[in-house]
């Protein structure tokens, strides 16, 4: 466990714990407010993220940013990271050994940020953080509390690009997160 961001990021840059490191252009460490009350966790980098080293800059991230704007949330207000820090080939779902290799890095990011709310974007984030028994269809939109953190599972923004019907539910889930953010800041 690293107690500072620089050592953690350096460790990830030098990581060779799984085969994803062999084809990466950049690690996608994470970005945002390092003291955020809210953290978003996605699946893994896509091609745009791999080339820029920044999470959620592709089409899915642009759609998510539009939702944030519509809700009056600034991306700088939260921290965003992924289960895996290197791009899986052809944007496939990370294999379990790849996710397992990265999870300690993500846990370290959570410890450093100390969020009160974590938004789990999609099934991969949900299952790797809360457990294999959770399904995104049955869990999305429902708060789960674990170890003093509130979790909101919702659709991954890439799913919204494939299924327009999920946009309303995603929007509703983000509205719930915003409400919870406001109630936390009033304490």
Structure confidence at residue 185 as a pLDDT band (50, 70, 90): confident
What's the rounded Cα separation, in Å, for the pair 49 and 27? 9
Tell me, what's the pLDDT at 114? 97
Tell me, what's the pLDDT at 73? 87
**49: Cβ contacts below 8 Å, ≥ 6 apart:** 28, 55, 56, 57, 58, 61, 87
Query: What percentage of the chain has pLDDT greater than the value 70?
Result: 99
pLDDT in tens, 8-52: 999 999 999 999 999 999 999 999 999 999 999 999 999 999 999
Query: Is the pLDDT assigned to residue 184 strictly greater than 90?
Result: no
What's the rounded Cα separation, in Å, for the pair 145 and 137? 18
Tell me, what's the pLDDT at 187? 66
What's the rounded Cα separation, in Å, for the pair 124 and 17? 19
Query: Is the pLDDT assigned to residue 133 strictly greater than 70?
Result: yes
Domain covering 5-185, topology = Uracil-DNA Glycosylase, subunit E (3.40.470)
CB-count exposure of residue 110 (10 Å: 0-12, 13-18, 19+): middle
**108: Cβ contacts below 8 Å, ≥ 6 apart:** 1, 2, 8
Mean pLDDT of the chain: 96
pLDDT in tens, 84-128: 999 999 999 999 999 999 999 999 999 999 999 999 999 999 999
Tell me, what's the pLDDT at 148? 95
Of 7-11, 54-58, 73-77, 133-137, the least confident = 73-77
Phi, psi values for residue 78, rounded to 5°: -130, 175
Query: Is the pLDDT assigned to residue 186 strictly greater than 90?
Result: no
């Amino acid at each position: 466990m690293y107690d500072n961001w620089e050592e953690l990021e350096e460790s990830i840059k030098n990581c060779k714990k799984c085969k994803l490191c062999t084809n990466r252009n950049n690690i996608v460490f994470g970005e945002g407010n390092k003291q955020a009350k809210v953290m978003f966790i996605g699946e893994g980098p896509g091609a745009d993220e791999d080339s820029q080293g920044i999470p959620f800059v592709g089409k899915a991230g642009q759609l998510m940013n539009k939702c944030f704007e519509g809700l009056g949330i600034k991306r700088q207000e939260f921290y965003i990271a992924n289960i895996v820090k290197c791009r899986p080939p052809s944007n496939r779902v990370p294999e379990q050994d790849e996710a397992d290799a990265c999870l300690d890095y993500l846990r370290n990011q959570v410890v450093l940020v100390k969020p009160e709310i974590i938004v789990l974007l999609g099934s991969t984030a949900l299952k790797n953080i809360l457990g294999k028994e959770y399904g995104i269809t049955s869990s999305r939109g429902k708060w789960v509390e674990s170890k003093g953190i509130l979790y909101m599972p919702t659709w991954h923004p890439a799913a919204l690009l494939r299924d327009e019907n999920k946009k309303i539910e995603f929007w509703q889930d983000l509205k719930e997160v915003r409400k919870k953010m406001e109630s936390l800041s009033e304490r």
